Amino acid sequence: MTRSMILANARLVLCDEIVEGAIAIEDGRIAEILPSRSTGGEDVDGDYLLPGLVELHTDQIEGHLNPRSGVVWNAMAAVQAHDGQVATSGITTVFDAVRVGSDENTRADAEAVARLADTIERAVAEGRLRAEHFVHLRCEVSADDVVEGFDLLKDHPRLRLVSLMDHAPGQRQFHDMAALRAYLTDKFKMSEADFEAFAAARIAQSEKNAGPHRRAIAAECQTRGIALASHDDATIAHVAESIALGTRISEFPTTIAAAEASRAAGMKVLMGAPNVVRGRSHSGNVSAIQLLRAGLLDVLSSDYVPFSLIQAVFTLADTGLVPLPAATRLASANPGEAAGLADRGRIAAGLRADLIRVAHQPGEPPVVRAIWRQGKRVA
């Protein structure tokens, strides 16, 4: 049976313009964009209709599973709580970022991560979720056990994206040792001697493991057609290494030089939406706004605040940095393309009817009033 509906009296955020009109939906896809005089259907009262946002890197699901030190929440409840958070932020496709590779920041071991991925798969099969969920596996390549953790998930049906990261002191995100020392001594109350011992151990571990682990995991991803992302590239040498591994996405490059080299190699450059909202990097690295002004920003990700993705879209438009359609592409069409999902992220005939209704007053956070995934109202 054909399912059809019309969303009328909207400001439609298309790829390159905003038009007043309506959207006709049939069987979960956009059938037609109608003129503003169209009547009938659901009246959205002049609010914006945007394509549903596509989120490639949000770390929040692990926080729902382990909400406090020593507390492990029911996995299905954690998945559903996370899903509600991302969907009501306007995200209709989400890559849930989970980590393998043990260090002092590890919240869950690889076996727990694999069980969580299985829970996501079961939640999808049982129709429990508002957004469409995939798995983004973050691999800490300096860790001794990262390859074993990757092997547990490499054939999981939800796994579509792998990022290779190395948080050893003195390079990439933590190239500023003085800033890292101040951060860790404050957060973990480390003494100077403790910090020096920690840094020496982590650097030695990275020197031993990072290269061979990167190559091993990247080769498995190429065999399986899993999209590969670099993480915190800072130098031309880092980017050259990423190119050699077949990387498609440059996540959070820390310098303009790394972003330029990544873009020149055909990678999509991804930065954090909280960086846009705050106007700077929390680590003191190059900001998303700097890369945007240099024409080097392709994708925004909510990273550690799911609502920041839709907030950043309207922040960019409100401040006049880019028009709303261009800002929307950073959070919808571009990440969809980067992840190989060409059927969503734009309002155009034939594409999935993943849509969000947004009310907005300039200078204020937007309000997500309704969400449709494949033409079905989910929130």
At 140-173, the pLDDT tens digits run 999 999 999 999 999 999 999 999 999 777 666 6
Q: Which long-range contacts (CB under 8 A, 24 or more apart) does 364-371 make?
A: 365/307, 365/311, 365/314, 366/310, 366/311, 366/313, 366/314, 368/88, 368/89, 368/90, 368/310, 369/44, 369/47, 370/44, 371/52, 371/87, 371/88, 371/90, 371/92, 371/130
The residue among 44, 58, 55 whose CA lies nearest residue 8 is: 44
| Nearest-angstrom CA–CA distance, 314 and 156 | 35
Q: pTM for the complete prediction?
A: 0.92
* 373, 29 Cβ separation under 8 angstroms: no
pLDDT of residue 27 exceeding 90: yes
Give the pLDDT confidence of 53-66 residue by residue, as tens digits. 999 999 899 999 99
Predicted confidence (pLDDT) per residue in 300-333, tens digit: 999 999 999 999 999 999 999 999 999 999 999 9
State the pLDDT confidence band at 105, using cuts at 50, 70 and 90.
low
- pLDDT given for residue 194 in this prediction: 78
| Residue 1 clears pLDDT 60, i.e. is over it | no
Location of structure tokens 């990072």: 210
Sign, CA dihedral 218-220-225-227, equals negative
Beta bridge pairs of residue 21: 10, 35
Angstrom distance (rounded) from CA 219 to CA 372: 37
Tens of pLDDT, residue by residue over 68-104, are: 888 999 999 999 999 999 999 999 999 999 999 987 6
Can you tell me the distance from the alpha carbon of 222 to that of 150, in angstroms, rounded to the nearest whole number? 14
Q: 181-223, pLDDT tens digit by residue?
A: 666 666 667 777 877 777 787 888 888 999 999 999 999 999 9
Please name each of the domains of the chain with its CATH number: 52-342 (3.20.20.140)
List, in sequence order, every beta strand (DSSP E) within 122-222: 132-140, 159-165
The CB density around residue 292, as the number of other CB atoms within 10 Å, is: 21
**Alpha-carbon gap, residue 198 to 200, rounded angstroms:** 6
Task: Name which of 140, 114, 145, 103 is nearest 214 in CA terms.
Answer: 140
* The dihedral sign for the CA sequence 48, 49, 51, 53: positive
**pLDDT tens per residue, range 259-306:** 999 999 999 999 999 999 998 665 568 899 999 999 999 999 999 999
The separation between CA 132 and the C-alpha centre of its own chain, rounded to angstroms, equals 13
Q: What are the tens digits of pLDDT across the range 226-261?
A: 999 999 999 999 999 999 999 999 999 999 999 999
